[in-house]
Structure 1
Amino acid sequence: MLFVSLAAAGIVLGSGLAIAQIPAPARPVALSDALPIPDAPAPKVSKAWVLLDAATGQVLAGDNIDTPVEPASITKVMTSYVIAAEMAAGKVKRDDPVLMSEHAWREGGAATDGSYSGFEVNKTAPLVEMEKGMVVQSGNDAAIALAEHVAGSEEAFAQLMNAYAKKIGMRNSHFVNPHGLSTEGHVSTAHDLALLGRALIHDFPEAYSYNKLKEFTVGPITQPNRNLLLWRDASVDGIKTGHTSRAGYCLMASAKRGDQRLISVVMGDTSENQRAVDAQALLNWGFRFYESHRLYDVGKSLATPKVWKGAADVVKVGVAQPLLVSTPRGKYEHLKASMDLPKSLVAPIAKGQRLGTVKVMFDGKPVAQAPLVALEAVEEGGFFKRLWHELLMWWQG
């Protein structure tokens, strides 16, 4: 990941400060940098697809990214997220005994002709083992058993799924069950699913790590992970496949090369192999032609606007979270940033108080923005200073 200085982003301050000059590129400009980026290798048959930069959340390429489609077993990534979140909240534990109920066994077991884990009916297994059976083997029975354990029923668990989906920012998704078998009203989008994968990787890395297991054994049955990219590309470490007759072949894949992580989602492909081929092509294209930039770190002062009526005359402002963007390789000098700050800041100002916004543009298009906060507190000045500043503010106003 590249680190770009304040000047490199061409900062313009709303308060009227001068435009910072763009320095020379951090690396020599290659001949290929001047060439246009070729179109992304779009899957030829899929219903929807997207390529997302995991660090920034930016969409690098896609088609029908916000069109609702059936997510099939990629649904289980949402199930994993809910379980991990409820575990973090202390509501369930990794060694909880989870019962493979008769309902879970009948609705999602071997007799259903769908993916199953192999846990015995009316017997328990530790939650973490049941979850691996759901993630690696895509066990529908394990997904139902886990939902019943966490929330009492599939219906109640689906309410949790939708609540967490809203929190993640999945705007066009609605979940009805924990496994992804075709059900009326059970939909998501390529974009939403990529955001979900990003959230699982960031929020619950241990739960995400189960997705790179190539096989899992329950009793005498060993089943392989259906994500073929785990065998084809060492940089791929997840995440989930899906297939039903209505949804087609689906794959959410994630890979990390160096400091850069990308997530591809292909929905409604024609075969198990084709979804892997299409996902691999998107990942290769993204790593070849795009890079992530870390523009501003937490605690770094980006500006010192004037403060009225304060013990100090200025306040340092910066970002509360690192601000990252994605650009075509060799093009970071095309970034421009502006700060939207009030013309008048009046003390007292608390440390961490939001004061404005920094916005980043690439070739005239917005690519990122973040709140600007006070990096220090500014207390009120003395009585006479406040009175004097009051007169000056009146005069200037």
Structure 2
Amino acid sequence: MRALIVFCLFTFASLAQAQDFQTSASHAVILDYETGEVLFNHNGDEPMPPASMSKLMTLLMAFEAIERGALSLDDELPVSEHAWRTGGAASGSSTMFLEVHSRARVDDLIRSIIVQSGNDACIVLAEAISGSESAFAADMTVRARELGLSSARFANSTGWPHPDQRISAIDLARLAAIIIREYPEFYEIFDVREFTYNGIRQFNRNPLLATMDEVDGLKTGHTEESGYGLVASGERDGARRIVVYNGMESERARASEGERLMRAALADFTLVELGTAGDVVGEADLFLGQAETVALRLTEDARVGLHVRARGDLQAEIVYDGPIAAPVAEGDVIARLEVSAPGMETRQFALEAAGTVAKQGLIGRALAGLGSLFGVN
């Protein structure tokens, strides 16, 4: 017979019911940069059209090409007709205003993508790195999967609408974290407010750079399909948070919701440390073992992110099918720690046996059987 054993490990009693944090965005995520913990998730796992926010992957590919010596910042790359027609002044889209058959320095192309969201600059880099934009998009997808960004699919380098241009908000946040961590020298450019090329002055479209001192990146996005979105990062008192959201109806709505989300990310969301790998958090009952119980320990660090209002209702439970039949070897994963709170997806952490318990001998098993038969405990 299957028995579900549930022990309440701890509960932080609250004086008032925690309220769920809400957003008007269609997709939104708040990520703790240091730990990678998701603090808030609203449809964050769902692949979405990222618009120009997908340029972060284009930039990462360029940063990696520079790192391995395939490109240098001083290289001058040719502007093809495809780059000019699809992403230049003729396209009517975000552009660096590159002239067809001219050449542009890699450093200028990178700055244009970050500050101006230049589509022509993206295509020039894509063709230089992979030979064609379509080949570059395929390489983007492969590289994203290698980095663990499993939702990512790319059809172009710019974020131009396409049914195969998709990535989740969580993966965009993780992509931003990779750029911040691995390429700090390039990340500094995301805080640049304006860039002038060929006498044309353009301004950074990230609205939070002008309203929040804590914010220093990253990238806006907008198409009719995706709505208005933003990947933003900010730091306060040594804690960095990454906010990704999409589906806003206007630039004004993007700016106001972005400020609200970032202020909440920096002030209202927190990490709760439940234990570190190896900590004993409880015990499990055994059947026919030389001991009646075995201690349970965490196999990994256990932490959760949540809104401060929900912390008072945080609960953690040890769950397993039991009693567990002996023998049990140290290291066997035999239970899980389930952690829940209002507004937070339930998290599970594996628990393993902290020791070895052998099976009872023949006489012990016989006595246990008789005890069970006559109802003796």
Question: TM-score by structure 2 length?
Answer: 0.72
Instruction: State the alpha-carbon separation in 2 of the partners of residues 394 and 358 from structure 1.
Output: 19
Aligned 1:20-39 pairs, distance under 5 A: 34-39=15-20
Q: Provide the secondary structure at the position in 2 that maps to 1:174.
A: coil
Question: Structure 1's 147 and 359: CA in aligned 2 closer, same or farther, altered over 3 A?
Answer: farther
Instruction: Name 2:185's counterpart in structure 1.
Output: 206
- AA matched with 1:177: N
- AA matched with 1:128: D
- AA matched with 1:40: F
Instruction: Name 2:367's counterpart in structure 1.
Output: none
Q: Does 1:117 align with 2:96?
A: yes
Q: Give identity over the alignment, percent.
A: 32
Q: Does 1:190 align with 2:177?
A: no
- Residues 168 and 199, structure 1, Cα contact 8 Å, conserved in 2: no
Instruction: Tell me the CA shift for residue 38 of structure 1.
Output: 3.3
- AA matched with 2:20: D
Instruction: State the alpha-carbon separation in 2 of the partners of residues 265 and 172 from structure 1.
Output: 15
1:257 aligned to which of 215, 231, 236: 236
- Residues 191 and 209, structure 2, Cα contact 8 Å, conserved in 1: yes
1:180 aligned to which of 136, 159, 162: 159
Consecutive unaligned residues of structure 2, counting only runs of 5 or more, are: 1-8, 281-296, 319-326, 353-357, 362-377
Instruction: Name 2:29's counterpart in structure 1.
Output: 50
- Residues 41 and 285, structure 1, Cα contact 8 Å, conserved in 2: no
Question: Structure 1's 219 and 265: CA in aligned 2 closer, same or farther, altered over 3 A?
Answer: same
- Residues 132 and 210, structure 1, Cα contact 8 Å, conserved in 2: yes
- Residues 136 and 214, structure 1, Cα contact 8 Å, conserved in 2: yes
1:142 aligned to which of 111, 117, 121: 121
- Residues 235 and 255, structure 1, Cα contact 8 Å, conserved in 2: yes
Instruction: State the alpha-carbon separation in 2 of the partners of residues 266 and 217 from structure 1.
Output: 28
Instruction: Tell me the CA shift for residue 355 of structure 1.
Output: 11
Q: Provide the secondary structure at the position in 1 that maps to 2:231.
A: strand
Offset from partner CA, 1:138-180 (integer Å, 9 cap, x none): 0000000010111111111112210121123222221000001
Instruction: State the alpha-carbon separation in 2 of the partners of residues 63 and 286 from structure 1.
Output: 14
- Residues 49 and 190, structure 1, Cα contact 8 Å, conserved in 2: yes
After TM superposition, the structure 1 stretch with the greater mean CA deviation from structure 2, 361-370 or 186-195, is 361-370
Instruction: State the alpha-carbon separation in 2 of the partners of residues 126 and 98 from structure 1.
Output: 6
More strand by share: 2
Question: Structure 1's 356 and 82: CA in aligned 2 closer, same or farther, altered over 3 A?
Answer: farther
Instruction: Tell me the CA shift for residue 195 of structure 1.
Output: 2.0
Instruction: Name 1:309's counterpart in structure 2.
Output: none
Offset from partner CA, 1:53-101 (integer Å, 9 cap, x none): 2223232223222333211111101111111223223332232222222
After TM superposition, the structure 1 stretch with the greater mean CA deviation from structure 2, 260-269 or 232-241, is 260-269
Question: Structure 1's 52 and 121: CA in aligned 2 closer, same or farther, altered over 3 A?
Answer: same
- Residues 78 and 161, structure 1, Cα contact 8 Å, conserved in 2: yes
Q: CA RMSD in A?
A: 3.9
Question: Structure 1's 60 and 132: CA in aligned 2 closer, same or farther, altered over 3 A?
Answer: same
Instruction: Name 1:239's counterpart in structure 2.
Output: 218
2:74 aligned to which of 92, 95, 106: 95
Q: Which has the larger radius of gyration?
A: 2
Aligned 1:10-89 pairs, distance under 5 A: 34-43=15-24, 46-89=25-68
- Residues 335 and 360, structure 1, Cα contact 8 Å, conserved in 2: no
Consecutive unaligned residues of structure 1, counting only runs of 5 or more, are: 1-20, 304-316, 346-353, 373-392
Instruction: Name 2:291's counterpart in structure 1.
Output: none
